[in-house]
């Protein structure tokens, strides 16, 4: 057998490894709980890790969806099912201190109210949720009549008189996003504004409500609610990013109001709206723990610092790192229905993995020659998968490749100064053998002679 053929067969050899049947879900919001329950109901143990003392995430501050779903009732039912399920182990007030391993065989250390726990699992779901931008503009934090939509929703649920009896209320869209700092649309803000406007109109039909927007994005069938709001005399006024609304606290005939000045694009004139309350559609921003979790599980982030899927169409709930999946607002801002659907999708991918007794890894990987290794660490620095580490050997500390984590990209091969690391199927010996097999030695000599003019 030729050297090239032998090397090729060696490269095609695969590794079969046992799969741990448990799963880890990071994040105890609606996405994380939905995914955890779905996995547990198929007979697999699930470890649910939540940084807060209570489950629910940002949904604890929501009360209704645009379609009328009672979020708090849904949340109570979901939390109850999670705690009652014998296969779901909940860790609250928890922090992940270490995550190691590979697809089918991960080990994660969690520090929680239970103490320090070492969790062995075959797959992980990242569902850490998102945060809400804290505005620094439009008098937020300076005047208690200025609030975010989450705060407005809580006041509506509590039937606060100041909001219920307001004569006029203004909403400003795109606060904290679609700018230089965050050049993305938070997607859900327009639907939330329309939802709160319709709720207020239902309670107090005589209230004047103005929504100042750059672009209304009530996508899909949410467009029907936008039309309903217009028919109920909710006034939509567009503004340009270079001519944002101005807000000041003034008194009008002895009545304290928030004067919102905005340019009407149709009239071409400035409008002054005296409001009793101002609601800001604050941007949805990545969770504070996003970067830390990404580093622990070696997964990638988008330019907006949300988690980035492996492929937007072909692998929408997977990472490039095998065995790690994502769902919910950790991925990007999305409505509750989208969050729940994606959570089921992530659970489905986890179950596909856990349904096998073994996982097969490619044999086209790198390997290190201890005799040539000088322990410089160049290979460890460039490896994007954390597949190389130093280990103590009879010859001292040497670089060793974990064939399961290695993806065979060959970067370590190119930076190694002593050629101690080689990529199977791409060794010098094999490549030269392929050249010999393709072009007989006599032809090479003839071509060299012809090129030299001899």
Residue 12 confidence (pLDDT): 45
Please report whether residue 452 resides in a domain.
no
CATH code where residue 394 lies: 3.30.70.20
Asked if residue 79 and residue 30 are part of one domain, the reply reads yes
Please report whether residue 436 resides in a domain.
no
Token pair of 449 as six digits: 């002679």
Distance CA 442, CA 431 (A): 18
Token pair of 137 as six digits: 């503009």
Residue 13 confidence (pLDDT): 52
Token pair of 196 as six digits: 């709160």
Residues 325-335 pLDDT 10s = 999 999 999 99
Please name every residue paired with 26 in a beta bridge, in sequence order, or none if there are none. 49, 126
Residue 345 confidence (pLDDT): 97
Asked if residue 273 and residue 148 are part of one domain, the reply reads yes
Note the pTM of the prediction, 2 decimals.
Answer: 0.84
Helical H segments across 204-289, by residue range: 223-231
Cα torsion angle, 267, 272, 273, 277, sign: positive
Q: By C-alpha distance, which of 188, 195, 244, 178 is closest to 217?
A: 188
Residues 280-298 pLDDT 10s = 999 999 999 999 999 999 8
Asked if residue 137 and residue 93 are part of one domain, the reply reads no
Q: What is the mean pLDDT of the chain?
A: 91
Residue 403 confidence (pLDDT): 80
Residues 358-401 pLDDT 10s = 877 666 788 899 999 999 999 999 998 888 999 888 888 999 98
Can you give the C-alpha Rg of the chain in angstroms? 29
Please report whether residue 294 resides in a domain.
yes
Q: For 132, which DSSP code? A: E
Does residue 111 carry a pLDDT above 60?
A: yes
Q: What would the mean pLDDT of 254-268 be, rounded to a whole number?
A: 92
Asked if residue 169 and residue 50 are part of one domain, the reply reads no
- The domain boundary, picked from 356, 380, 404, lies at 356
For residues 90 and 42, the answer to whether their CB atoms sit within 8 Å is no
Residue 438 confidence (pLDDT): 80
Q: What would the mean pLDDT of 96-118 be, rounded to a whole number?
A: 93
Residue 254 confidence (pLDDT): 84
Of residues 351 and 405, which shows the higher confidence score? Answer: 351
| Domain ranges, residue 256 | 132-284
CB-based contacts of 193, cutoff 8 Å, min separation 6: 149, 171, 173, 211, 213, 279, 281
CATH code where residue 95 lies: 3.50.50.60
Q: Exposed, middle or buried: residue 394 (CB in 10 Å: 0-12, 13-18, 19+)? A: exposed
Q: Exposed, middle or buried: residue 61 (CB in 10 Å: 0-12, 13-18, 19+)? A: middle
Asked if residue 114 and residue 82 are part of one domain, the reply reads yes
- Using CA atoms of 76, 77, 78, 80 in order, give the dihedral in degrees to the nearest 10: 80
Token pair of 117 as six digits: 């726990």
């Amino acid at each position: 057998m030729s050297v090239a053929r032998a090397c090729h067969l060696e490269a095609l050899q695969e590794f079969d490894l046992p799969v741990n049947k448990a799963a880890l879900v990071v994040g105890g919001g609606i996405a994380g709980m939905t995914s955890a329950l779905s996995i547990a109901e198929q007979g697999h143990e699930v470890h649910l890790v939540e940084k807060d003392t209570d489950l629910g995430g940002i949904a604890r501050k929501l009360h209704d969806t645009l379609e009328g779903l009672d979020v708090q009732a849904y949340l109570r039912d979901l939390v109850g099912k999670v705690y009652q399920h014998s296969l779901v182990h909940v860790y609250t007030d928890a922090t992940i201190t270490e995550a190691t391993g590979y697809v089918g065989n991960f080990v994660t250390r969690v520090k929680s109210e239970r103490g320090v726990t070492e969790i062995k699992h075959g797959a992980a779901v990242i569902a850490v949720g998102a945060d809400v931008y804290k505005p620094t503009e439009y008098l937020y934090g300076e005047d208690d009549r200025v609030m975010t939509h989450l705060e407005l929703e809580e006041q509506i649920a509590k039937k606060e008189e100041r909001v219920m009896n307001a004569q006029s209320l203004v909403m400003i869209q795109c606060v904290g996003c679609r700018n230089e700092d965050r050049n993305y649309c938070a997607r859900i803000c327009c639907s939330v504004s329309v939802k709160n406007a319709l709720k207020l109109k239902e309670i107090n039909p005589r209230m004047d409500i103005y929504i100042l927007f750059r672009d209304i994005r009530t996508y899909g069938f949410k467009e029907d609610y936008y039309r309903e709001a217009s028919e109920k005399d909710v006034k939509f006024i567009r503004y340009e990013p270079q001519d944002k609304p101005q807000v000041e606290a003034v008194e009008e005939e002895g009545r304290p109001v928030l004067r919102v000045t905005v340019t009407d694009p149709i009239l071409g004139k400035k409008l002054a709206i005296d409001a009793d309350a101002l609601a800001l559609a604050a941007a949805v921003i990545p969770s504070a723990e996003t970067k830390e979790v990404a580093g622990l599980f070696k997964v990638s982030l988008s330019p907006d610092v949300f988690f980035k899927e492996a492929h937007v169409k072909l692998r929408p709930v997977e990472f490039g790192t095998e065995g790690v999946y994502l769902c919910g607002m950790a991925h990007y801002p999305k409505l509750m229905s989208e969050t729940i659907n994606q959570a089921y999708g992530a659970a489905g991918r986890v179950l596909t993995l856990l349904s096998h007794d073994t996982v097969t890894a490619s044999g086209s990987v790198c390997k290190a020659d201890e005799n040539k290794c000088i322990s410089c660490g160049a290979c460890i620095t460039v490896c994007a998968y954390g597949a190389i580490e130093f280990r103590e050997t009879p010859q001292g500390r040497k670089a060793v490749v974990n064939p399961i984590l290695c993806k065979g990209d060959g970067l370590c091969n190119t930076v190694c100064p002593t050629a101690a690391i080689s990529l199977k199927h791409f060794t010098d010996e094999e490549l030269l053998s392929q050249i010999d097999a393709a072009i007989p030695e006599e032809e090479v000599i003839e071509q060299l002679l012809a090129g030299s003019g001899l």
